[in-house]
Structure 1
Amino acid sequence: MKLKAKSAIEAHDPVTHGGLYSKKITSLGVLDFSSNVTPAGMPIKVKKSIKKNLEKIENYPDIHSSQLLKSLQKFTNLSEDYLVVGNGAIEIIYNFCNAFLSKDTPVLIPIPIFSEYEATCKMNNCKITFFRTMDLQKNLESFISKIPKNGCVFICNPNNPTGKLLPKKNLIQIIDKAKKQNSIVFVDECFIELVPSSNESVISSVKKFDNVLVLRSFTKSFGLAGIRIGYAASSKYIISVLKKIKIPWSINYVAEQAAISATQNSSHLTKSKSIIKKEYDFLKNKIAKIDGFELVDSSTNFILIRTEYDSTKLQKKLLEKKILVRDCKTFRGLDNHFIRIAIKSHKDNLRLLKALERIK
């Protein structure tokens, strides 16, 4: 018997991401500026929760993650009927696309943007239209005019990798137009809790609009990248479908308890935003003075940098100095003259700047 996978699966090209394992780094001392995690690190109380609950991993976790949903209800001011959790935000992206998108579904994706939306849509044989823009707010009218009928629109806000933040009023315009077109809007807000200046979240709009899903993650905001935990808010119908198809026990017990602890540590977000604001201003000022590098204004905890150097060669040179940055040539809409850096502690940022200044 000769097995053959679906053609879309065979054609799937796994997305390249940042992180130490992306470069198979095993040596100690490499500073990871390629992963956009809060510079404040993991909350102390969350660390204690993880250690405390390790002894309980011999038991199956709650298949419904009931305790976490109750905590998220308080954290988001939404009832459990509007919430679903996942093994990282990425599981929810895949489950959403598998459940609601199919062959020839028209999809609108602004680029550059997080690449997994495109990858998952392709595996579902969607008909994708790309909209090239480095700042969606500046091209809003044109973008809205391209919202398809009976389709889907993906928005990352703030956008990864540009860091651009779309105001809430503009997002509501997109959602409202999409509703008239019988289309759904997938809004990825995984970085929105790390925006120091304002709160442009549309998470509360899921009560008013039945055509929007808002994605969140504990990875970026609370430094929990390694245990994979995320959630989404949407209409009761969409959430009910996502709960039906969610892989049983995808949320392990330790991850659930860590996330519960995180929701009870909102002061950690205040601390993170304070560091981000201060260090962003510092990096913006310093990078502007380094020849060959031009910073793209960002609203969150990472910065896209346009450089005269080849991004892959630059990444390699910086790795020799034990600094890893994100080579952005793999983002559709960017070329090999862009890198992305996370905002880290002042000490780490100084080390990055020193390395950039010595690049030749």
Structure 2
Amino acid sequence: MKPSNPYVIRHRPASHGGLYSVRGNSSKILDFSSNTNPLGSPPLVKKIIKEKLDTIGIYPDSDSLELRKNIHSYTKIPLEQIVVGNGATEIIYNFAHAFLSKKTPVLIPIPTFSEYENAVQLRGSCVSFFKTMNLNDDLEEFLQKIPKNGCVFVCNPNNPTGVLLPKKKMELIINRAKKNSSTVFVDECFIELVPESNETIIKLISKFDNLFVLRSLTKSFGLAGLRIGYGLGNKKIISILSNLKIPWNVSGIAQESAIASLKDKTFLKKSNQLIRQEYEFLRKNISNIDGFYCNESKTNFILIKTKVKSKILQKKLFKKNILIRDCSTFRGLDENHIRIAIKNRNENQLLVKQLKRISCTH
């Protein structure tokens, strides 16, 4: 039996970081490849999971109502303008399935998160890529490329470069897209892990009906294994996405853990203090190693250009029980780029130590 959608045949899963991608005793491996919160999840989450173990035999709320109420309290976005997904990635694919077609022109700045491209190509849309290592520097040219009657994907801050666009520049993109009758999909999955400023544009949702914002509790609250994200947009967009999602798409324990995370008023503050401190430590020390150049990042990971090929570097570090992200799989980057997540001081020191050793042998 052949798929009715010809694009399914060509589809190939994207590469990502994370311990699932390697073999060995994962408990001994320091995972710098997966850029989640360096503090892990809020302390209350483990307690909630233990308390709710008896509920695993009960179907979860298919509408995630209590969680959406808490997201409303957290974001101030009306309840009917919130959709919850089994990870942010589910929402990306549902969005593409709902609003894109073979006729839809799509603009994606690269390098960036690969699932936008994958989701769009499953719909057969016409994709244009805009190569930039810093969209702040190339914004005017990017604005001119925004298609008519299409869609624009922007990751802010961007994965893997760590570049952050301020609100005013994001509004320029949304404004230009509106004039062109295009929708802007803004991925803010790392926006809460930006220590220096708050550049979220969720308040613009009430101003622009062509704006959709994606958020993830995976990154901000360290819930990667529970898979939970949410989307914010106008009532029409959210209604369509809510009708499209599969029933019971988010487990009950995931919903309870997300609620507990959102109620922790100090966790993100502590996380960002650590990110600010350890970013400076890593950037300073790695930049002083011959053959390593750190891109400036506004969030909890750093893109590094290296003299050592990324796959070789990954293998050498893995022998020392350290896992990094090989960035050669990102469209727009080559085999001389890696990405590391910011972790605690002891773990960061171990990484720096091993990078120095490798540098000395090349």
Sort the TM-score into its range (normalised by shorter chain). Answer: over 0.9
Separation (CA, whole Å) in 1 of partners of 2:258 and 2:23:
28
Map residues 136-285 of structure 1 onto 2, 5 A cutoff. 136-285=135-284
Measured after TM superposition, the shift of residue 240 of structure 1 is 0.5
Bigger shift: residues 22-31 or 283-292: 22-31
Structure 2 unaligned regions, length at least 5: none
Kindly provide the CA deviation profile for residues 71-128 of structure 1, in whole angstroms up to 9, marking residues without a partner as x. 1110001111111100000010000000000012100000000000001100000000
Separation (CA, whole Å) in 2 of partners of 1:4 and 1:188:
30
Kindly provide the CA deviation profile for residues 209-261 of structure 1, in whole angstroms up to 9, marking residues without a partner as x. 00011100001111100000000110111001000101100011000000000
Contact 2:19 2:26 in 1 (8 A): no
Kindly provide the CA deviation profile for residues 188-214 of structure 1, in whole angstroms up to 9, marking residues without a partner as x. 000000000000100111111000111
The 3-state SS of whatever aligns with 1:103 is coil
Residue equivalent to 1:13 = 12
Map residues 265-344 of structure 1 onto 2, 5 A cutoff. 265-344=264-343
Change over 3 Å in CA distance of 1:30–1:84 after alignment to 2: same
- The amino acid of 2:18's aligned partner reads G
Change over 3 Å in CA distance of 1:22–1:209 after alignment to 2: same
Structure 1 unaligned regions, length at least 5: none
Residue equivalent to 1:99 = 98
- The amino acid of 1:355's aligned partner reads Q
Measured after TM superposition, the shift of residue 27 of structure 1 is 4.4
* Aligned-residue CA RMSD (Å): 0.8
- The amino acid of 2:13's aligned partner reads P
Measured after TM superposition, the shift of residue 54 of structure 1 is 1.4
Kindly provide the CA deviation profile for residues 106-165 of structure 1, in whole angstroms up to 9, marking residues without a partner as x. 000000000000011000000000000000010000000010000000000000000000
Give me the identity figure in percent. 55
- The amino acid of 2:60's aligned partner reads P
Map residues 113-128 of structure 1 onto 2, 5 A cutoff. 113-128=112-127
Separation (CA, whole Å) in 2 of partners of 1:271 and 1:252:
28
Separation (CA, whole Å) in 2 of partners of 1:229 and 1:16:
20
Give me the TM-score of the superposition, normalised by structure 2. 0.98
- Number of aligned pairs? 359
Separation (CA, whole Å) in 1 of partners of 2:293 and 2:339:
11
Measured after TM superposition, the shift of residue 28 of structure 1 is 3.0
Separation (CA, whole Å) in 2 of partners of 1:174 and 1:53:
44
- The amino acid of 1:201's aligned partner reads T
Residue equivalent to 2:87 = 88
The 3-state SS of whatever aligns with 2:137 is helix
Residue equivalent to 1:74 = 73
Measured after TM superposition, the shift of residue 271 of structure 1 is 0.5
Measured after TM superposition, the shift of residue 284 of structure 1 is 1.1
Change over 3 Å in CA distance of 1:81–1:125 after alignment to 2: same
The 3-state SS of whatever aligns with 2:59 is coil
Residue equivalent to 2:52 = 53
Measured after TM superposition, the shift of residue 5 of structure 1 is 4.5
Bigger shift: residues 18-27 or 343-352: 18-27
Change over 3 Å in CA distance of 1:4–1:220 after alignment to 2: closer
Bigger shift: residues 246-255 or 41-50: 41-50
Separation (CA, whole Å) in 2 of partners of 1:84 and 1:27:
33
Give me the TM-score of the superposition, normalised by structure 1. 0.98
Separation (CA, whole Å) in 2 of partners of 1:288 and 1:174:
33
The 3-state SS of whatever aligns with 2:225 is helix
Separation (CA, whole Å) in 2 of partners of 1:136 and 1:82:
29
Separation (CA, whole Å) in 2 of partners of 1:299 and 1:320:
30
Separation (CA, whole Å) in 2 of partners of 1:323 and 1:5:
43
Separation (CA, whole Å) in 2 of partners of 1:208 and 1:338:
39
Change over 3 Å in CA distance of 1:107–1:192 after alignment to 2: same
Kindly provide the CA deviation profile for residues 262-305 of structure 1, in whole angstroms up to 9, marking residues without a partner as x. 11013100000000000001111101110110000000000000
Separation (CA, whole Å) in 1 of partners of 2:179 and 2:335:
39
The 3-state SS of whatever aligns with 2:331 is coil
- The amino acid of 1:77's aligned partner reads K
Measured after TM superposition, the shift of residue 47 of structure 1 is 1.4
Measured after TM superposition, the shift of residue 3 of structure 1 is 3.4
